[in-house]
Structure 1
Amino acid sequence: MSSRWSINITPAERVARVVIGGLAAIAGALLMGGAGSTLAVVLELLLVLAGLDLVVTGALGHCPLYARLGRVPASLKERTS
């Protein structure tokens, strides 16, 4: 059974995405509690969503944007060749 998505993110970038994304999601959620305006809530919600996107792409090892652009890191090209 083949995987639908190929891994196109290096291990170091995967870790960075999960850590930074997790921190962004937590920060956005904490900031949302003290938001004073609708614009602030919307921006903080976007921060949470962006953070969650980074966590998911880091955990899966696949970035749809990278795939769309045809980007594959050199270190991953060597493994598949």
Structure 2
Amino acid sequence: MRPNITIAIPTPYLPLAEYCRITGTAMGTARHMIKDGRLPIKSKSSKNGVVEVNMAALTVQALGDCKVSLAVN
């Protein structure tokens, strides 16, 4: 029987500045990553125009790279 592992994503979206602070990525680099599709963002920006990084999509991408079977509930 295969074990079930639950992964909780406490913050599914992070403002771009916070993502850069946490990861140590330069803001210009992050903007280039967004432009070329390597960094997924929330499809609609907030009312104040803040760009938010989709941490849930990054988690799913990272799990896919691990060659694991993935089911999202």
Q: Fold match, TM over 0.5? A: no
Query: Whose radius of gyration is greater, 1 or 2?
Result: 1
Higher strand residue share: 2
Give 1 or 2: higher helix fraction: 1
Q: TM-score, normalised by structure 1?
A: 0.29
Answer 1 or 2: higher relative contact order, Cα 8 Å, separation at least 6.
Answer: 1
TM-score (norm 2): 0.31
